[in-house]
Chains A and B, each alone.
Chain A
Amino acid sequence: MIEVEHLSKIYGSTPAIQDVTFSVEKGEILGFLGPNGAGKTTTMRILTGYLPASSGTARIAGFDVHENSMAVRRQIGYLPETPPLYTDMTVEGFLHFVARIKGVAAGDRIAQVENALKRCNLLEKRSVLIRKLSKGFRQRVGIAQAIVHDPPAIILDEPTVGLDPRQIIDVRNLIKSLAGEHTIILSTHILPEVSMTCSRVAIINRGRVVATNTPEQLMAELAGGDGYELEVAGNPAQLDWQIQQMPSLLPGVKSVEQIADESLPAEHFRLRVALEANLPDPGGEIAAAVVQAGLGLFEMRRTRVTLEDVFLELTTEEKVIDPEEMAQADERAKADTKAAPAEAVAVAEPVDLDNPEDPANAEPGDA
């Protein structure tokens, strides 16, 4: 339905987006996720034909957005960053105007406007001047104008900005109800929104798409899936041995690493256990193994990877996800489980390198 290939936009000499490629199938909701200024709005404006791209192509329903702009415009509903509202019109009057300029046939207009009003919960405000509406209602009128002509593709730039929590839920449900018959791209920097509404996510940072996948896959692949965090007590030698053994003894465990935590009393250590995806949860076995090894188990809790982790990982380290590279990294981690924990700790908490007392800095070979 929507295909974007190698799209770039350069303002003067600063690139706003570079080599953006993704596609959205019919009926899907794609979440466009990125920090402010990452190029979300620019990409959307190119898709709607509002801005021309510097290079690359974008097609909606088979029409090129630049060469066949008029055909594309008939296919899309668009909510820009600031809702485009004529504040001196009533809600209903405005929607009628939009329906007219979007080419809705005169006979269908009343029904379509009514439908949009209903879907966006605007029936009670239909004859109120837009000027007098609160921000939340204005946002909803903005969404209503994007769907009033029932377009096959809907592009929403931050649709839930300025809404209260109740309205956010309403808007998310509305968006979900539109999927199926409509193809939707929405941009946001609110992470839970993406996992709640979108069937796929494209994470964009500094003008580049750094990952595209389903939210679940992204979480599983990028942050290593779910895991456990343990607080154990015992002597360090015992602990290191445990760290080495656990992944090979328990099939569900991918890796174990020790993490620095200065708030713990002496002889207490914190371990992070990463689990293999798609294998039965070895939670019970982990606890048993710790106890059998003569270590005291003080705390054990499940940690879930959130999209936030993925997002931070992708947008702060400027890591571009290459499937091959990822596979290699996995192999390396497996082959060298002994070195991996210290390495991982060093990357995650560079400050601790200066602290010689920290058990995390002990050479793995010392044991």
Chain B
Amino acid sequence: MRVIFANLIAIYRRELQSYFASPFAYVIAGVFWLLSGFFFFAILLGPEGLIAQSALRDQMGVTGQPTDVPYQFLSFFLGTLSSLAMFILPMISMGLYAEERKRGTLELLATSPLTNWVVALGKWLGAITFFITLLLPLLLYQAIAVSASDPPASLTVMLLGHLGLVLLAGAILSLGMFVSSLTDSTILAAILTFGLVLVLWVIELVANSLVGPVGDGLKHLSLIKNYNTLTQGIFDSSSILVFVSYILLGLFLTAQSIEAFRFQRS
């Protein structure tokens, strides 16, 4: 058990180190921060932003249901973050195995006393840690904005929303890792992952047009539907379970595909 844990740490650290040593990862981080910063500004403070809108409404003396600016902001912002993540995550996951296959280092891993599970889990943890690192600065300025509202909004809602984002990212990364293990071309891995994510994203639309148990079942598979549940501050264990299932499925398929790779290689 201790050996397995030590191996996991070794793989995890190497993976993380490769992100922080790669200029590519910094480009991804830069683009992500730039765009998310822009959206943050546009949604909250921009001329069409939530604050401007509610101020306008007050000025015009519109009565009725007052808008809950902090919650509405969080839900909007997390929505845009998830769309951003959809583009960025396949780029984070594309190299996980494809790169190893291309460089021949998979041969080192496959002939070391490591199980495929440990390698896959270590890599996934490295990738999700990198993504969480991308979120940390955003979390800081959201926390400032949300707590500056009057009355102060609950940070729990914000954190739950971000947990949802991390789970969503975990699911995409896990599936992306599996796709990456199928090819030795990183570009192909990124494109295929993006396609897969897109399908899981819009599966709700397909599900809505279907009636009966198939439609209901498909609805549960939709990433965006489960994600929206969490960003609305609802702690829904079934949504969490869906994401965790995706993560485990990705890990399982990755381990299996690497095992199968040994047998089909020519």
- Surface stretch bound by A, among B11-19, B59-67, B134-142, B205-213: B11-19
CB-contact partner of B6 in A52, A78, A83, A100, under 8 A: A100
Known: A80-B104, A87-B103. A50 touches B111 (CB 8 A): yes
List residues of chain B with CB within 8 A of the CB of A86.
Answer: 14, 18, 103, 105
Q: A281 to B196, alpha carbons, bound, how many Å?
A: 78
List residues of chain B with CB within 8 A of the CB of A98.
Answer: 108, 112
Is A70 a contact partner of B111 (Cβ separation < 8 A)? Answer: no
Q: A98 to B11, alpha carbons, bound, how many Å?
A: 10
Indicate the size class of the contact surface on chain B.
20 to 34
Known: A73-B112, A78-B111, A88-B21. A100 touches B7 (CB 8 A): yes
Known: A74-B113, A101-B11. A88 touches B18 (CB 8 A): yes
Is B108 a contact partner of A145 (Cβ separation < 8 A)? Answer: yes
Is A84 a contact partner of B103 (Cβ separation < 8 A)? Answer: yes
Q: A87 to B3, alpha carbons, bound, how many Å?
A: 26
Known: A82-B104, A84-B103. A49 touches B111 (CB 8 A): yes
Contact of B52 with A by CB under 8 A: no
Name the CB-closest residue of A to B106.
Answer: A84
Contact of A22 with B by CB under 8 A: no
Is A101 a contact partner of B112 (Cβ separation < 8 A)? Answer: yes
Known: A85-B105, A88-B22. A97 touches B110 (CB 8 A): no
Contact of A8 with B by CB under 8 A: no
Contact of A76 with B by CB under 8 A: yes
Known: A50-B262, A85-B105, A103-B113. A97 touches B10 (CB 8 A): yes
List residues of chain A with CB within 8 A of the CB of B109.
Answer: 101
Q: A45 to B111, alpha carbons, bound, how many Å?
A: 9
Encoded as 1 (CB less than 8 Å from any B CB) or 0, chain A from 59 to 78 comes to: 00000000000100110101
Q: How far is the CB of A65 from chain B (nearest CB, A)?
A: 10
Contact of A48 with B by CB under 8 A: yes
Is B111 a contact partner of A48 (Cβ separation < 8 A)? Answer: yes
Contact of B114 with A by CB under 8 A: yes
List residues of chain B with CB within 8 A of the CB of A78.
Answer: 107-108, 111
Contact of B266 with A by CB under 8 A: yes
Question: Which residues of B are at the interface with A, using a C-beta cutoff of 8 A?
Answer: 3, 6-7, 9-11, 13-14, 17-18, 21-22, 103-115, 262-263, 265-266
20 A-B pairs besides A11-B266, A70-B113, A84-B103 with CB distance below 8 A are: A48-B111, A49-B110, A50-B110, A78-B108, A80-B107, A80-B108, A83-B104, A85-B103, A86-B103, A88-B21, A89-B18, A89-B21, A97-B13, A101-B7, A101-B10, A101-B11, A101-B112, A101-B114, A102-B113, A106-B6
